[in-house]
Structure 1
Amino acid sequence: MSGTLKEMRNGGEVSVTSNGGGVRDSYGEDSATEDQLITPWTFSVASGCSLLRDPRYNKGLAFTEGERDAHYLRGLLPPAVFNQELQEKRLMHNLRQYEVPLHRYTALMDLQERNEKLFYKLLIDNVEELLPVVYTPTVGEACQKYGSIFRRPQGLYISLKEKGKILEVLKNWPEKSIQVIVVTDGERILGLGDLGCQGMGIPVGKLSLYTALGGVRPSSCLPVTIDVGTNNEKLLNDEFYIGLRQKRATGKEYEELLEEFMCAVKQNYGEKVLIQFEDFANHNAFDLLEKYRSSHLVFNDDIQGTASVVLAGLLASLKLVGGALADHTFLFLGAGEAGTGIAELIALEISKQTKAPVEETRKKIWLVDSKGLIVSSRLESLQHFKKPWAHEHKPVKGLLDAVKAIKPTVLIGSSGVGKTFTKEVVEAMAALNEKPLILALSNPTSQSECTAEEAYTWSKGKAIFASGSPFDPVEYEGKVFVSGQANNAYIFPGFGLGLIISGAIRVRDEMLLAASEALAAQVSQENYDKGLIYPPFSNIRKISAHIAADVAAKVYDLGLATHLPRPKDLVKYAESCMYSPGYRSYR
Structure 2
Amino acid sequence: MVRDYEYVQRDGKEIMRIAARGRDVLTHPMINFGTAYTHEQRRALGISGLLPSGVMSVYEQIKRLYRQYLAEPSDLARFVFLSGLQDRNEILFYRLLSEHIEEMLPIIYTPTIGRAIQEYSHLYQRPRGVFIDIDHPEMMEQSLLDYGRSPDDVDLIVVTDSEGILGIGDQGVGGVAITVGKLSVYTAAAGIHPGRALPVVLDTGTDNLQLLNDEGYLGVRHSRVRGERYDEFIDNFTTTAHRIFPHAMVHWEDFGPANAHRILARYRDELCTFNDDIQGTAAVVAAAALSAVRRSGVPLRDQRIVIYGAGTAGVGISDLLVQLLTDEGLTPQQARAHFWALGSRGLIVEGSRMRDFQQPYARSQADVADWEAANGGFGLAEVVRRVHPTMLIGCSAQSGAFTEPIITQMASYQDRPIIMPLSNPTSKAEALPGDVLDWTDGKALIATGSPFAPLDHHGVRYLVAQANNALVFPGIGLGVITSRATRVSERMILAAAKAVAAASPSDAPGASLLPSVSELRSVSAQVGLAVARQAVAEGLAEVIPEDDVQAISDQMWRPEYPEVEAVESL
Give the TM bin, normalised by the shorter chain: over 0.9
Report Cα offsets for 1:424-459 as digits up to 9, x if no partner: 222222222222111111122222212222222232
Q: Does 1:386 align with 2:354?
A: no
In 1: Cα distance, 2:215 partner to 2:33 partner: 37
Q: What's the offset of the Cα at 1:170?
A: 1.0
Q: What is the CA-CA distance between 1:322 and the residue it aligns to?
A: 1.2
Task: State whether residues 29 and 217 of structure 1, in contact with CA within 8 Å, keep that contact through their aligned partners in structure 2.
Answer: no
Deviations 1:138-194 (A, max 9, x none): 011111111111111110110023212211211111122111111110111011111
Do the aligned partners of residues 29 and 469 (structure 1) sit closer, same or farther apart at CA in structure 2, a change above 3 Å counting? farther
Paired residue for 1:52?
A: 26
- Cα 1:30–1:517, aligned 2, differ >3 Å: closer, same or farther? farther
Deviations along 1:323-377, whole A, 9 cap, x unmatched? Answer: 321121111110111000100100110111x222111111111111121112335
Tell me, what secondary structure is at the counterpart of 1:164?
helix
Cα drift, residue 85 of structure 1: 1.2
Deviates more, 1:566-575 or 1:99-108: 566-575
Q: Can you list the C-alpha shifts for 1:63-117, whole angstroms capped at 9, x where unaligned?
A: 1232233322223222222211121122122212224111111111100000000
Q: Which runs of 4+ in 1 moved over 6 A?
A: 28-32
Report if the CA contact (8 A) 2:483-2:545 is conserved: no
1:568 to 546, 551, 555: 546
1:234 is aligned to: 210
Q: d(CA) in 1 for partners of 2:6 and 2:268?
A: 33
List aligned pairs for 1:507-546, cutoff 5 A: 507-525=488-506, 528-546=508-526
Bigger drift between 128-137 and 395-404 goes to: 395-404
Q: Which letter does structure 2 place at the counterpart of 1:534?
A: L
> How far has the Cα of 1:26 moved from its partner?
5.0
Residues 131 and 256 (structure 1), Cα distance of their counterparts in 2 relative to 1, 3 Å cut: same
**Root mean square deviation of aligned Cα:** 2.1
Q: What pairs up with 1:293-442 in 2 under 5 angstroms?
A: 293-352=268-327, 354-378=328-352, 381-392=353-364, 393-394=367-368, 396=373, 397-442=378-423
Matches within 5 A, 1:169-248: 169-176=143-150, 177-248=153-224
Of the candidates 273, 279, 284, which is equivalent to residue 254 of structure 2? 279
Which amino acid in the other structure matches residue 512 of structure 2?
A: L
TM-score, length of structure 1 as denominator length = 0.91
Find the residue that maps to 1:161 and give its secondary structure.
Answer: coil
Q: For 2:482 and 2:172, how far apart are their aligned partners in 1? A: 33
Question: Once the 2 structures are TM-superposed, how far is the Cα of residue 28 of structure 1 from its aligned partner?
Answer: 8.1
1:148-187 pair list within 5 angstroms: 148-176=122-150, 177-187=153-163
Equivalent residue for 1:250? 226
Q: What letter is aligned with 1:186? A: S
Task: List alignment gaps of at least 5 residues for structure 2.
Answer: 566-570
- 1:584 equivalent in structure 2: 562
Aligned equivalents of 2:551, 2:135: Cα separation in 1: 43
C-alpha separation in 2, matches of 1:31 and 1:535 = 32
Name the residue aligned to 2:528. 548
Amino acid of the structure 2 residue aligned with 1:312: A
Aligned position for 2:263: 288
Q: Distance in 1 between matches of 2:217 and 2:12?
A: 39
How far is the alpha carbon of 1:517 from its aligned partner? 0.7
Where does residue 5 of structure 1 map in the other structure? none
Equivalent residue for 2:462, pick from 481, 487, 504: 481
Q: Provide the rounded CA distance (Å) in 2 between the counterparts of 1:257 and 1:302.
A: 21
Alignment match, 1:74: 48
Letter in 2 for 1:551: V
Paired with 2:265 and 2:540, the residues of 1 have a C-alpha distance of 18
Cα distance in 2 for partners of 1:513, 1:31 equals 34
Pick closer, same or farther for the CA change 1:432–1:31 going to 2, 3 Å: farther
* Contact kept? 2:23, 2:50, Cα under 8 Å: yes
Distance 1:60 1:306 in 2: 39
Work out whether residues 339 and 361 of structure 2, in 8 Å CA contact, stay in contact via their aligned partners in 1: yes
TM-score in terms of structure 2 length: 0.93
SS at match of 1:314: helix
| Contact residue 373 and residue 398 of structure 1 kept, 8 A | yes
Distance in 1 of aligned mates of 2:335 and 2:547: 35
C-alpha distance in structure 1 between counterparts of 2:508 and 2:526, whole Å: 20
Instruction: Report if aligned partners of 2:394, 2:420 keep a CA contact under 8 Å in 1.
Output: yes
Indicate how the Cα distance of structure 1 residues 219 and 488 shifts in structure 2: closer, same or farther if over 3 A, else same: same
Question: 1:307·1:345 contact (CA, 8 Å) conserved in 2?
Answer: yes
Question: Which residue matches 1:469?
Answer: 450
- Deviation of 1:579 after TM superposition, in Å, equals 0.5
Kindly provide the amino acid, as one letter, of the partner of residue 281 in structure 1: G
Note closer, same or farther for the CA distance 1:43–1:531 as it changes in structure 2 (3 Å cut). Answer: closer
Whole-Å separation in 1 of the counterparts to 2:5 and 2:491: 39
Alpha-carbon separation, structure 2, partners of 1:376 and 1:317: 31
* 2:460/2:510 contact within 8 Å kept: no
- 2:387 and 2:12 map into 1 onto residues whose CA distance is 54
In the TM superposition, what is the alpha-carbon distance from 1:130 to its structure 2 partner? 0.7
Q: Aligned equivalents of 2:497 and 2:99: distance in 1? A: 25
The 3-state SS of whatever aligns with 2:5 is: coil
Partner of 1:8: none
How many residues align structurally?
553
Aligned AA for 1:520? Answer: A
- Counterpart CA distance in 2 for 1:234 and 1:473 is 38
SS in 1 for 2:135: helix
1:142 and 2:116 correspond: yes
Change in CA separation of 1:55 and 1:360 when aligned onto 2, cut-off 3 Å: same
AA of the residue aligned to 2:169: G
Taking the aligned partners of 1:530 and 1:82, their CA distance within structure 2 comes to: 44
Range that drifts further, 144-153 or 69-78? 69-78
Preserved CA contact (<8 Å) 2:272 2:488 = yes
Percent same amino acid among aligned pairs? 38
Offset at residue 22 of structure 1 (A) = 5.8
Deviations 1:183-214, CA, capped at 9 Å, x for gaps: 11011101111111111111110011111111
Q: Give the letter aligned to residue 558 of structure 1.
A: E
- Gapped runs of 5+ residues in structure 1? 1-20, 35-39
Alpha carbons 1:185, 1:199 under 8 Å: kept: yes
Cα distance in 1, alignment partners of residues 398 and 118 from structure 2: 18
